[in-house]
Structure 1
Amino acid sequence: MTAFPRFISGTKTFVNDVVEGFFAITHNGLALLGLAVACMAMVAASRPDLRVSAEAQLFDWLRTRHVVAQEQEAPAVADAGDRALAINPHTLPKEQAAIAFWLSKKYRVAPEPVSALVAQAYDVGLRTKIEPTLLLAVIAVESSFNPFAQSAVGAQGLMQVMTRTHTDKYENFGGHLAAFDPQANLRVGAKVLQECIQRAGSVEGGLRYYVGAANQEDDGGYTAKVLAEQARLRQIAGRRGAVAAAPKQLAARAQPQPAPIRPAGDATARNDEGVAAAPAQS
């Protein structure tokens, strides 16, 4: 047998071995997969609680993915005429409507635009994994729901974001002037707060970063005020359970405290981390 026929024969043998091996692996893999599915089905049949828990987790994951997909597919911000800047609070879910009416009465703002902000806070909270009542509490403490608020150090809008520091975050919203767009400011503020919480490892620590007091002994009672406001919002919403401490403890911590000493004329004294904003000053 010459070299060429031997080469052809060897090639055929090699190909046959590869094909047989592929089918053997595929067959064994499918068998293992079938066995795993059968075991999972048996466990689900014997433990309904596990099945319900798995279904709930899967539903939450799919819902989160759906919201993220919608956010990626849709433009970052639409024209004002295409967005719901104000909605009828009676069309909101019961929990959101209760919060909207309460905020409207407490801060003396119209319930319709507040309802739009409450609905957006729930949407943004789902994407950022921040409880919507915390976002609304930050807005309440920072600006009292005044979208045009501005502090002495340049913090702007509902969540008093330091626009100069976070100009890049407004690029998808048309530029830095979007800081006075309530919905754009809420989204950017939520992103900043999310980064602060991740950096600190806790909500309390994140709030200290947000107000620029992470490296100071005293945050002027800011964290306690926000958490106390969140506790009230959770109560209005009909939720149970503590936020970070018992309401009495939060109330005690929220008592006015002496402001920390900062260098005179330092425009960034309240924002030494360059992360977030100071509340608007009246």
Structure 2
Amino acid sequence: MTATQQFTKGLRIVATDIAQGFFEITHNGFALLGLAVMFAVITLTAKPEIRQAGEVQLMGWLQNRHVVETGLVTEPEAVDRATATNPQGLPKQQAAVAFWLSRKYGIAPEPLSALVAEAYETGQRTKMDPTLILAVMAIESGFNPFAQSHVGAQGLMQVMTKVHSDKYESFGGKMAAFDPVSNLRVGVKVLQECIARAGSVEGGLKFYVGAGNMEEDGGYSAKVLAEHARLQLVASGRAAPMASPMPVPVKLQTPSTATPATVENVASLANS
């Protein structure tokens, strides 16, 4: 065998040894990786708290990376807090009311749709006309969930939060006055009590606005009932005028001048 042949044979042996070594190392590496994955899966299955902790850390890392890259702090679950729904998903009657109110009050149809749906659900549960509930909201706050009068009536239905703080306990406290759905439900409860006490819707509205012991309520009941009538037309599929009559100044008692019975039952004061 010549020297060249011996050299070539030696190179082949070296190359073969290297290839076999690489294969064994790679094979063993994949085997170790497979074992590690298997043990990790078993551990995460047996210990869900470890998996949850890992998920939290991973999500935190991803969110931090997103903030660094975009400068925007995101909160994917924020949509769950939004008081809004697609009006196209409402029954025809409710959708018509939502769109009419949206045009009249300049409020986006999505949040109004959520309020209309809640008014109809609450009305069915409490045996109260949902269009009356919506009419009270319209006159009281113009569908502003953060409205507040100078005497402390707050939210969509301008409930006197200090007077009716006990009704907010099941909603987590007085701050729920600014949650639209909570305020609506508490307002309906107060309105129910006022109507039951007065024996009529018109009389109940006087108690609701804090004028139960007065001869006049400054035109408040008339404004609510007029809006109620318009909403009933819309709900029945008929045309209703957008324009309201000229507002009548509402002259009311405030808690500082009202009789004790009025203070106990007052729910709100209409915005002038």
> What residue in structure 2 maps to residue 229 of structure 1?
227
Q: Aligned runs of 1:100-249 on 2, under 5 Å?
A: 100-238=98-236
Aligned mates of 2:271, 2:252 — CA distance in 1: 19
SS of structure 2 residue aligned to 1:169: helix
8 Å CA contact retained: 1:143, 1:280: yes
The change in CA–CA distance for 1:239 and 1:273 in structure 2 (over 3 A counts) is farther
The change in CA–CA distance for 1:137 and 1:261 in structure 2 (over 3 A counts) is closer
Aligned length: 189
> What residue in structure 2 maps to residue 278 of structure 1?
269
CA deviations on 1:65-112 (whole Å, 9 max, x unpaired) are xxxxxxxxxxxxxx9765662111011000000000011111111100
The change in CA–CA distance for 1:80 and 1:168 in structure 2 (over 3 A counts) is farther
SS of structure 2 residue aligned to 1:164: coil
Name the stretch that deviates more: 80-89 or 125-134.
80-89
- Percent identity at matched positions? 63
Aligned mates of 2:101, 2:257 — CA distance in 1: 31
Aligned mates of 2:172, 2:166 — CA distance in 1: 10
The change in CA–CA distance for 1:269 and 1:92 in structure 2 (over 3 A counts) is farther
8 Å CA contact retained: 1:149, 1:280: no
Aligned mates of 1:155, 1:230 — CA distance in 2: 21
**1:235 Cα deviation after fit:** 0.4
Q: TM (normalized to structure 2)?
A: 0.64
The change in CA–CA distance for 1:179 and 1:149 in structure 2 (over 3 A counts) is same
SS of structure 1 residue aligned to 2:128: coil
The change in CA–CA distance for 1:259 and 1:97 in structure 2 (over 3 A counts) is closer
**1:267 Cα deviation after fit:** 4.5
The change in CA–CA distance for 1:107 and 1:274 in structure 2 (over 3 A counts) is same
Larger-gyration structure (1/2): 2
Aligned mates of 2:86, 2:258 — CA distance in 1: 38
Aligned mates of 2:138, 2:84 — CA distance in 1: 18
8 Å CA contact retained: 1:153, 1:268: no
Q: Look up the equivalent residue of 2:165 and give its one-letter code.
A: T
Q: TM (normalized to structure 1)?
A: 0.62
**5+ residue gaps in structure 2?**
1-76
The change in CA–CA distance for 1:186 and 1:200 in structure 2 (over 3 A counts) is same
Q: Look up the equivalent residue of 1:227 and give its one-letter code.
A: L
The change in CA–CA distance for 1:147 and 1:174 in structure 2 (over 3 A counts) is same
CA deviations on 1:222-250 (whole Å, 9 max, x unpaired) are 0010000000000011169xxxxxx9xxx
**1:122 Cα deviation after fit:** 0.4
8 Å CA contact retained: 2:194, 2:207: yes
The change in CA–CA distance for 1:150 and 1:260 in structure 2 (over 3 A counts) is closer
SS of structure 1 residue aligned to 2:264: coil
CA deviations on 1:234-274 (whole Å, 9 max, x unpaired) are 0011169xxxxxx9xxx8xx665565486xxx544478343
**5+ residue gaps in structure 1?**
1-78, 241-246
Alpha-carbon RMSD across the aligned residues, in angstroms, is: 2.5
